[in-house]
Amino acid sequence: MPIPEKLMNESIEFECPTCSHFMAKNGSWVKVIAAFNCDECNARIRIGYMTKLALFEQKSQSMRLS
């Protein structure tokens, strides 16, 4: 299943698994990164493809409910 191109300019929200800090990044950023540091605790966070798909699916569903 490919990541939907229509969500590249949308804000994708996710939570740091270490400190629970919420972050929001553009879909295009989420699509291309593999790891990054949390803005709050600086923990290294890896985001695999399946996690990315889940984040994009959550965003897609939230847009349908609005």
Q: What is the pLDDT of residues 4-50, one digit of tens each?
A: 899 999 999 999 999 999 999 999 999 999 999 999 999 999 999 99
- Residue 64 reports pLDDT greater than 90: no
Give the separation between CA 20 and CA 7, rounded to whole angstroms.
24
What pLDDT score does 34 carry? 96
pLDDT of residue 21: 97
Where does 1-66 have alpha helices with state H? Answer: 27-32, 49-65
Q: Exposure of 32 by Cβ count < 10 A (0-12 exposed, 13-18 middle, 19+ buried)? A: exposed
Q: What distance in Å separates the CA atoms of residue 21 and residue 64, rounded to the nearest whole number? A: 25
Provide the number of structural domains found in the chain: 1
Checking if the pLDDT of 1 tops 80, the result is no
For residue 38, the enclosing domain spans: 5-65
